Amino acid sequence: MSIHGQAVRLMLLLLLLATGGAAQARIDPLKRCTMTLSPGMIDYGQLTSVQATPLPLALSRGPGLIRPTGIPLPARTLFLNLVCPQPINLTMLFHAPSRNSSQYDFGGGGGYILRVHDVRVDELPVDIGLVTVPGEPPTTIAERLEWLPEHAWVPMRAGMQVPGSRLSAQIDVETWVSADLAALRDAQVWEAEGIIDAEDARQFAALGLRAQAMPRSCTPRLTPSVLELGTVPRSSLHADAAYALPRRTVQLQLNCSGPTRLAVKLLDNRAGTEAGWAADIPGPARFALAPRGGGVAGIYMLSFGAVIMDGQTMQVLRGTGERADNWSGQEEGAPLQRFDAHAAVYAFAAPGQVVPGAVDNLSAPLQVDVQLAPTSVLEAGEEVLLDGGVTVEIVYL
């Protein structure tokens, strides 16, 4: 009889060309400004499994600004440099889709904010003025400020806008995603792009952001994966009653990429479980041993022994359906039902809990109790070859 474990089912680009007012100084078309942004792409890579549940972000926010909620990604700092052949008006704009008045959109699944600081013009430190409309007086002047959607910023000193030929600034990027990573069932990618626009310099620099997440995955393993029952002489069988073989045990191991809420269901790979001679095993708990010629020549029952995860004994729970809402405790050694019988699924929880917990690396003895049919229902012959199989399938909750 072979028993198999199987894991199943286990830019956004907005470019606005600003055509604002004339520059404060004429620029020789043969001597253009140069603007650089380093890095121009922020790739957060694949989000880790520990970032599982959205939490309030501990971001510093100005009065009246909307406080974001989500999974914070590592903060990054950009370095912006602009060099021109002669002094110009240094109004800086950022064109990108926004979520609201204080946050830019991160691929529809989160947001990000920009914070400008350490601005220098011609090597000298300056303050920053936040303006709603280029050319109008700033609404806010500070050494550090948030670059709000639909706003520009300009270098300021002593309350006056500062032109110059060289500008440098640092821009902190704080990004978050709103998704519950633990609930993802498909791969997810978040991408966004914005354009930094040095209006009078006629220069642009693209800022790209990207992150991805994969649903957590778990792999079941049965050891051994093939359980040999050996040879049983026909003379050892009973004429009108089942013959029980000694209990065997295979080890079910569930290894996950991170703590994952899951259940398992048991699928009988052999059709037919009618066996009136096995009255002590409930029908939904009968898995078939089929002879090569068809029919049922034996059955087996499965049950969990002591389930261990991280050195702790776990409680086995039984629910109904792949999206089970109600769970009840399953006693150690109690028969496990085939999924096709009553859609039973089995999950694991800490002792005393009746809600499935997260599984990381779990070991569960799967006890196999075999009963062979009486000789009165077996075909006559020298030898009867029995074959059975069960698939352990993971259901992600």
pLDDT tens string 81-118: 999 999 999 999 999 999 999 999 999 989 999 999 99
pLDDT of amino acid 274: 67
Q: Confirm if 340 and 215 have CB atoms less than 8 A apart.
A: no
- Average predicted confidence (pLDDT) for the chain: 83
Same domain, yes or no: 222 and 293: yes
pLDDT of amino acid 4: 34
Given 180, 213, 246, the domain boundary residue is 213
CATH value at residue 386: 2.60.40
Burial of 97 (0-12, 13-18, 19+ CB in 10 A): middle
Q: SS3 for 308? A: strand
Same domain, yes or no: 200 and 261: no
94: nearest Cα among 43, 176, 35? 35
Same domain, yes or no: 122 and 198: yes
- pTM of the model as a whole: 0.57
Instruction: Read off the pLDDT of each residue in 137-154 and give the average, rounded to a whole number.
Output: 95
Query: Could you list the residue range(s) of the whole structural domain that residue 330 is in?
Result: 218-396
Given 178, 196, 213, the domain boundary residue is 213
pLDDT at 287 over 60: yes
Same domain, yes or no: 324 and 348: yes
Let me know if residue 137 belongs to a domain. Answer: yes
> Which DSSP symbol is given to 49?
T
Residue 55 to residues 91, 173, 312, Cα–Cα distance (Å): 36, 19, 28
Let me know if residue 6 belongs to a domain. Answer: no
- What's the token pair of residue 333? 């050694």
Higher pLDDT, 17 or 84: 84
Instruction: Give the largest Cα separation in the chain, rounded.
Output: 108
User: At 27, phi and psi to the nearest 5?
Assistant: -115, 130
* Number of domain units in the chain: 2
